[in-house]
Structure 1
Amino acid sequence: MSQFVLKVHSRCDLACDHCYVYEHEDQSWRERPRVMTPAVIAQAAARIAEHAAASGLSTVHVVLHGGEPLLMGLAALGSAIGELRATIEPVAELDLRMQSNGVLLNEELCDLFAMHGVKVGISLDGGRMANDRHRRFPNGASSYGPVLAALQLLRRPEYRASFAGLLCTIDIANDPIEVYEALIAQRPPRIDLLLPHATWERPPPRPDDDPTPYATWLGTIYRRWVQDGKPVPIRMFDSLQSLARGGASGSEALGLDAADVIVIETDGAWEQADSMKTAYHGAPETGYDIFTHTAAQAALHPAIVARFGGLAALCDTCQACPVVAQCGGGLYAHRYRSESKFDNPSVYCADLKGLITIVGKGSPAQATAGSEAADSMPADLLDRMATGYGDAEAVQYLADTQLAFVRALLVAVAADATGSAAEAWKLLGRLEHEAPQAVKTVLTHPYVRAWAVHCLENEGADRDRLACLVAAAAIHGNVAVQVTVPVHDGAIHLPTLGTVRTVTPASGDAVLSVLAGGFTVRSGRSLLAIATDVPTEIWEPAWRVDFDGLRLVVEDSDPYRDCHEWTPGPRLTEAAAKLWTDSAMGAWQDIRRHVPEQVPGMRIGLAAITPLVDSQEGVNRAATSRHAFGALGTTSVGPRDLAVVLVHEFQHSKMGATLDLFDLLDPGYPKRLAVGWRKDPRPAEGVLQGIYAHLGVADIWRARAIAAPDPEAVSYFNIYRDWTTGAIDTLTASGALTQIGQRFVTRMGEVIAQWPMVKC
């Protein structure tokens, strides 16, 4: 336990009709003292210091709360703050904060907070109309003007360090963009968006035509926030993005992290989190107080321990859900139903799933500069990508966001899954916790996303394949489970691992059982035993390249590899596979020698090469798919040509992932544009993709020309450079680019302008 909320004043000068303290089920405030006395404050400080010393805490977090804490007045607040600092700081660093409605804030109070290092959060629900919908004085007068005056004070240079951020309670009747713009206009250091407290007994308002209105509302803000380049951290979005990568939540409302917060009421009672007041009268009570019980004893109260149980404390529905690691079952209080207490999903369950899907599909760019999220977006991600390379951090970010998209797509696929696929979906939730890296290995295989998109675009598609993904993850994680998997044409394909052949009967289901080092497949009366690393007549393991930091699959069997414009080739013979893997290793050496800047990104993101059927004209073919990040299809070529293909096509992959994150182009731009590398005019996105790909190709030919006299290299460099610069000029003048798109393309032009002339 390291976070303590002190309810220093239990009354408020506003009459907000959505307030969980006064307007919801628990009405214990009526029996509390109005103000926390100096004796209670001193004992609270002593208990916190005692706990910090006994637990070895280096930092404790204390929030002065209410009601409205500013109603204490300047002298009493100063005394309380001084007592807390004097008692706690000899033992541990004190992070002291306050949450306020701001209407009483003045210069004297700001001086006090600046002197004692107190950070103040202000509640604001948007612009005047949005804020006044709920946050009014008891006589009905607007609170908006006094709150804006408080914020103006906190933005002053001498008080800016005391500004903790804005807390906004969502009302879907307000326009989300207007709310977002009003909050951003106050230049807060961070924003918290709070779902209005509700339970299954008292559900939130929902318009009839939208089953997930809160996801829709938040998703609208999310997309705008991303488009704006994430000018300020928004904790809900940062938390979801961090959790998608296995990071910390930073919020008790999301994720499975223990929410180690406890409340001390004005009379010294230990209570559970304030949000519990929305459940039922007396819900936050523990029966403990600071005069007779230590913080450690309070932390072991059964009601508090029940909230710290992680996955095991959730209902069966939540435990079986693969997105539970991000959702965490939602806020504990929001699960309440009278007959089953808290053994339920959140009343916002559908909205949380919807928001996770939006964050996955839309862009994360998982966090913004200055965010406190564990994993944040590189502040200059676009500039890094515009160099033509993208360093390791930038490409890792792209790869992580692509994984988040896949997870979101799987949620949508599983929504219509039945039978063995539905059972496998439940099992995936278990594997996420027992073998998370194994699940990640499978879900980052490029053609998993291609399959998921196919399922969502085609009614009656192969959703049963979900079981094959789960089986592959269990094998990677060596988790002893049984999975019912589909058999198609006598084969079972396990993504990233290989294909089981000659299964009889040739269609239907088989039971796959994971064993140490392999697995068995039982179908009908036959039982096949397979060691994953040993090829046999019935087991065709994937062809792998693991060479000098390059790890990828030469993918010749995944049924969803047919997404690269041209026809994929059949299963390779062992001799043909060796030619492909040798060519890949040779190409990798060429890339390392000539364009080492590409290496860190390729090590992270390049995952699969799919051999394509050779063209009858003998022309080399290569392509990527927007739905298969890190994969490319190509006809057979030697190492030198393959090096260029890898650079070219991985540029397309990176560009596609970047476009998943940022709106670089006006989606309504109607015209096609002439480019040097095609006879037919291209849509704006095709031009942007071509610029980025040819930037990389020009660079490798430039490096080759510099490394050794080579007329061919000089010629190709000049061709690709001229194509690229000409297309940059065309696209820049077209009006097709957004503001950030213009910056991105301009930066690419600056990179080329810095290249020295190359002569043979």
Structure 2
Amino acid sequence: MTCRCGAAGSAAPCRPISQYVLKVHSRCDLSCDHCYVYQGADQTWQTRPIRMAASTVRAAADRIAEHARAHALPVVHVVLHGGEPLLLGPAGLREVLAELRAALTPGVVLDLRMQTNGVLLDEELCRLLVAYDVKVGVSLDGDRAANDRHRVFAHGGSSHSQARRALALLRRPEFRSSYAGILCTVDVRNDPDEVYSALLAEAPPRIDLLLPHATWDRPPWRPPGVATPYADWLGRIHQRWVDDGRPVPIRLFDALTPGQPGGGTEAVGLAPADLLVVETDGSWEQVDSLKVAFHGAPDTGLDVFSHPVDDAARHPGVAIRQVGLPGLCAECRACPVVSRCGGGLYPHRWRTGTGFDNPSVYCADLLALIATVDSRPRPDRAVAPESGSGAAPAAADGQPPRRPGIPAPRAGESAGSAEDRPGESATDRLLTEIAGGHGDSWALGVLAQTQLSITRALLATWRDTTGDSVAWELLTELDATAGDAVDAVLTHPFLRPWLVRRLARPGTPDDDLLPALAVVAAVRAGVDTVVEVPTRGDALVLPTLGRLTLAGERTATVRTIAGGLRVRAGSVERMVPLDGDAAARVGWQPVRRAPVVGAALAIEDVDPERNCYGQPVAPTLDEPAAVALGRTLARAWQVVHRDVPAHGAALDTGLRAVVPLAPDPGAPLRSATAREAFGAVAVTRTPDAEALAVLLVHEWQHGKLGALLDLYDLVDPASTVLIPVAWRPDPRPVEGVLQGVYAHLAVAEVWHARAATDRPDARPAREHALRYRDWTRDAVDALLGSGALTDLGERFVRRMRHALEGLRADPD
């Protein structure tokens, strides 16, 4: 192997290396037949230590730190790899992480990552990874059928459920900061639509689609008569991805799209490949995918004990991959798209006799894929919020491929078209819209879809704990054929609280809500079916529909029929008409609707999960009380539209249910929001529509901000800062202050609007407006000076501060 740059054997200056892979454990608990480590031509793993010794970790860390200081590198990236790094166990992994942090963190930012199959990931390991700020990528090749084609145990058993369990853990709010994404190896025998749907359902911050490792000596499998099967397969996913509004970064596609962030990767592009591998014995190696070429291909003959990073960086095999175009073969250098594909992955160029001086074995596929990418519209900007803290949409095996992406703003849409706001990312727009106090229909749609995705993730996790069921199969089928009906059920505000409560108590006997959800989805889809549904207490509870009193039966057989339900409990059969005369509904308490113009608003006094506000909720209302509350809500709705139409539109778009709170003579006007019950607020009943309007606006602010906080960390989670505020006697944590000022910003707007009228109560309204404005302004300034906001949080609060400027003048 020769080097065109003449670096071999010289002390010439080398490019600094900023990326390292540490093979901390050289064995694996899976037996994947496409693994380049164990199935490739290089078999040196058999003679190396099983795990990296502490002294080797220390030597590697010292070498990396030495190199970073010498080259003034601001950031160093280290990936823990294998084999399977989780085979170290919590204690062994902690030792490695502590050593790396101790050696590298002073003077340099250490970006720690890990690639795993996820089989061994558990809560203890997740807590450790979060504590050491390790970002985790999980290998998953798609749905169960796709994943089981290669990623199996030595006995042939599936690893799919274990990998999905690991992903469900990483989606949990307390662990999601460690979720880096999914690595998927392409197999053109798998259905690309199913693979794409399965990957997207796991809510990855990023997806890496990798071509299977192959060389000219061992070419990839291709179906007979298909010239570019890998381009065709990837092109299908690219089309779905573009149609969905690019809901998640896909590294290969981003790298092949001119002008997109992330252009250039190890697999494509001409950027220098500044990466070294440290094997378990301390050997410096080139990129380890070279193991597919020939035995010993990655070797450098150097190690961390005797050789600094600069020596390894001057190795011909490393240097050739840092010089860009001159390092490619003549055929590649003459290609018009060489700057895009970069000759493909270096190991994929190997051919006995000519070495790596060849195009990629995937050359034709890369050329066709670039043409496919160029044939489709390029994004003006990112259309999904950057990963940040990450939202967590997901689905389980067989769950709908139709998980919606975050929508791109539509041309001509008010306050947010591409023409109005060129170059603005979706994150910028979302933060701006929500921080302004209202949020347009696009922004509220993003929040709602995120919440739906989180519920889907939790539901998938619940299903994983209970196994397959008839109800799950029905939901899956309905989601594929009548997705809107399923979405209407899954967006029920009190489904997520139930899931959170149940998942917090695994293994305890309790009700299963899946059958009830399947019944409701079937009703909404107009599908006749029969489902066995567990009762809850003394009733059959069907979320969004109502509750049927049943005494002494633990299950009921529910048949959906045109216009109603046929329910058999024990020896008794009941008919429940869902429309028509209420007198015919003996024992049936439907979910009632408030007569609000422009919105579908439920008075939710039926669902037992509504009791999630930390305050007692009212029992089911009698008909006169429900009618009275509905009328007051309708008037309050009109009041909000009269005072601040933008807040009225926000209520129309997102508020789905109002829960009556139990009366308290000592606090006649109370309201509450539950973080996990997006789309619902709780209020005390009052005949005062003006007061109720303020409560609705106030609480819906909390709902919107809570949903935004599920997407982004606005407050440093490690902050212990307490801030005094005017509306409470005790100093408040930073997130509590943020919630308070966001709600008070809206309340100040309402009172400001009322004070600017010629109404008889304008003077007290003016006093309220000034009070809430000043409270909000002072607390916003305290937040900005606290040092406890993230960069996104500071942007958000500064935008709130800007919105307050419109309330600076005293209302007339």
TM-score between both structures, scaled by the size of structure 1:
0.58
What CA deviation, in whole Å up to 9, does each residue of 1:211-254 have, x standing for no partner? 856986999799999989x9xxx9989xxxxxxxxxxx997731
What CA deviation, in whole Å up to 9, does each residue of 1:455-491 have, x standing for no partner? 1123426342222122111111111111111123431
Q: Does the CA contact (< 8 Å) of 1:403 and 1:443 recur in 2?
A: yes
Q: Name 1:470's counterpart in structure 2.
A: 518
| 1:732 to partner: Cα distance | 2.1
| 1:526 to partner: Cα distance | 1.0
| 1:599 to partner: Cα distance | 2.9
Matches of 1:632 and 1:392 in 2, distance apart? Answer: 19
Q: Name 1:440's counterpart in structure 2.
A: 487
What amino acid maps onto 1:439 in structure 2? V
Q: Name 1:698's counterpart in structure 2.
A: 748
Q: Which segments of 5 or more consecutive residues in structure 2 lack a partner in the other structure? A: 6-16, 25-35, 45-78, 86-96, 98-109, 116-136, 185-190, 200-209, 238-247, 249-386, 395-402, 411-424
Matches of 1:441 and 1:702 in 2, distance apart? Answer: 36
| 1:604 to partner: Cα distance | 2.2
| 1:613 to partner: Cα distance | 0.9
| 1:525 to partner: Cα distance | 1.2
Q: Name 2:645's counterpart in structure 1.
A: 596
Q: 1:574 to 1:131 in 2, by over 3 A?
A: same
Q: Alignment partner of 1:660: what SS?
A: helix
What amino acid maps onto 2:649 in structure 1? P
Matches of 2:590 and 2:441 in 1, distance apart? Answer: 30
| 1:698 to partner: Cα distance | 0.6
Matches of 2:566 and 2:173 in 1, distance apart? Answer: 46
Q: 1:412 to 1:739 in 2, by over 3 A?
A: same
Matches of 1:365 and 1:691 in 2, distance apart? Answer: 32
What CA deviation, in whole Å up to 9, does each residue of 1:31-54 have, x standing for no partner? xxxxxxxxxxxxxxxxxxxxxxxx
Q: 1:180 to 1:392 in 2, by over 3 A?
A: farther
Q: Does the CA contact (< 8 Å) of 2:23 and 2:81 recur in 1?
A: no
| 1:513 to partner: Cα distance | 0.3
Matches of 1:490 and 1:626 in 2, distance apart? Answer: 28
| 1:400 to partner: Cα distance | 0.4
Q: Does the CA contact (< 8 Å) of 1:222 and 1:359 recur in 2?
A: no
Deviation larger for 579-588 or 729-738: 729-738
Q: Alignment partner of 1:393: what SS?
A: helix
Equivalent pairs counted in the alignment come to 505
Pairing 1:237-386 to 2, within 5 Å after superposition: 253-255=195-197, 284-288=221-225, 360=392, 377=426, 379-386=428-435
| 1:742 to partner: Cα distance | 1.5
| 1:370 to partner: Cα distance | 11
Q: Does the CA contact (< 8 Å) of 1:413 and 1:463 recur in 2?
A: no
Give the alignment partner of residue 682 of structure 1, picking from 729, 732, 739: 732
Q: 1:590 to 1:397 in 2, by over 3 A?
A: same
Q: Name 1:493's counterpart in structure 2.
A: 541
Q: Name 2:151's counterpart in structure 1.
A: 203
Q: Name 2:578's counterpart in structure 1.
A: 532
Q: Percent identity?
A: 32
Give the alignment partner of residue 701 of structure 2, picking from 651, 658, 683: 651
Q: 1:132 to 1:491 in 2, by over 3 A?
A: closer
| 1:196 to partner: Cα distance | 7.8
Matches of 2:792 and 2:193 in 1, distance apart? Answer: 31
Matches of 2:83 and 2:643 in 1, distance apart? Answer: 55
What amino acid maps onto 1:676 in structure 2? A
Give the alignment partner of residue 662 of structure 1, picking from 675, 700, 712: 712
Give the alignment partner of residue 664 of structure 2, picking from 615, 618, 625: 615
Matches of 1:358 and 1:741 in 2, distance apart? Answer: 15
What CA deviation, in whole Å up to 9, does each residue of 1:67-91 have, x standing for no partner? xxxxxxxxxxxxxxxxxxxxxxxxx
Q: Name 1:130's counterpart in structure 2.
A: 21
Q: 1:403 to 1:370 in 2, by over 3 A?
A: closer
Q: 1:214 to 1:169 in 2, by over 3 A?
A: farther
What amino acid maps onto 1:203 in structure 2? R
| 1:597 to partner: Cα distance | 1.1
Q: Which segments of 5 or more consecutive residues in structure 1 lack a partner in the other structure? A: 1-12, 15-102, 106-125, 141-167, 182-191, 238-248, 258-272, 309-325, 327-354
Matches of 1:648 and 1:547 in 2, distance apart? Answer: 18
| 1:693 to partner: Cα distance | 0.5
Q: 1:222 to 1:253 in 2, by over 3 A?
A: farther
What amino acid maps onto 2:806 in structure 1? Q
| 1:427 to partner: Cα distance | 2.1
Matches of 2:740 and 2:407 in 1, distance apart? Answer: 28
| 1:451 to partner: Cα distance | 0.7
What amino acid maps onto 2:225 in structure 1? Y
Q: Does the CA contact (< 8 Å) of 1:675 and 1:727 recur in 2?
A: yes
Q: 1:358 to 1:425 in 2, by over 3 A?
A: farther
Matches of 1:744 and 1:289 in 2, distance apart? Answer: 51
Q: 1:223 to 1:129 in 2, by over 3 A?
A: farther
| 1:510 to partner: Cα distance | 0.7
Q: Name 1:507's counterpart in structure 2.
A: 553
Matches of 2:407 and 2:524 in 1, distance apart? Answer: 33
Q: Does the CA contact (< 8 Å) of 1:170 and 1:195 recur in 2?
A: no
Q: Does the CA contact (< 8 Å) of 2:538 and 2:553 recur in 1?
A: yes
Matches of 1:222 and 1:129 in 2, distance apart? Answer: 28
Q: Alignment partner of 1:533: what SS?
A: coil
Q: Does the CA contact (< 8 Å) of 2:21 and 2:80 recur in 1?
A: no
Q: Does the CA contact (< 8 Å) of 2:669 and 2:684 recur in 1?
A: yes
Matches of 1:431 and 1:214 in 2, distance apart? Answer: 23
Q: Name 2:793's counterpart in structure 1.
A: 741
Q: 1:735 to 1:517 in 2, by over 3 A?
A: same
Q: Does the CA contact (< 8 Å) of 1:177 and 1:221 recur in 2?
A: no
What amino acid maps onto 1:563 in structure 2? C
1:581 aligns with 2:630: yes
Pairing 1:71-86 to 2, within 5 Å after superposition: none
What CA deviation, in whole Å up to 9, does each residue of 1:641-693 have, x standing for no partner? 11111100000000110111111111122233211111122222111110111
Matches of 1:560 and 1:222 in 2, distance apart? Answer: 21
Q: Name 2:689's counterpart in structure 1.
A: 639
What amino acid maps onto 1:715 in structure 2? E
Matches of 2:163 and 2:546 in 1, distance apart? Answer: 42
What amino acid maps onto 2:433 in structure 1? R
Q: Alignment partner of 1:427: what SS?
A: helix
What CA deviation, in whole Å up to 9, does each residue of 1:272-298 have, x standing for no partner? x975989xx9994544377xxxx9xx9
Q: Name 1:571's counterpart in structure 2.
A: 620
What amino acid maps onto 1:640 in structure 2? E
What amino acid maps onto 2:769 in structure 1? F
RMSD: 4.9
What CA deviation, in whole Å up to 9, does each residue of 1:317-370 have, x standing for no partner? xxxxxxxxx9xxxxxxxxxxxxxxxxxxxxxxxxxxxx9x985269x9966999
Matches of 1:104 and 1:496 in 2, distance apart? Answer: 69
What CA deviation, in whole Å up to 9, does each residue of 1:514-561 have, x standing for no partner? 001111101111111111124322221111135321111000111000
Q: Does the CA contact (< 8 Å) of 1:464 and 1:486 recur in 2?
A: yes
What amino acid maps onto 2:578 in structure 1? T
Q: Name 1:717's counterpart in structure 2.
A: 769
Q: Does the CA contact (< 8 Å) of 2:141 and 2:183 recur in 1?
A: no
TM-score between both structures, scaled by the size of structure 2:
0.54
What amino acid maps onto 2:553 in structure 1? S
Matches of 1:595 and 1:199 in 2, distance apart? Answer: 52
What amino acid maps onto 1:704 in structure 2? R
1:481 aligns with 2:526: no
| 1:740 to partner: Cα distance | 1.5
Matches of 1:377 and 1:430 in 2, distance apart? Answer: 32
Pairing 1:60-99 to 2, within 5 Å after superposition: none
Q: Does the CA contact (< 8 Å) of 1:170 and 1:194 recur in 2?
A: no
Q: Name 1:708's counterpart in structure 2.
A: 758
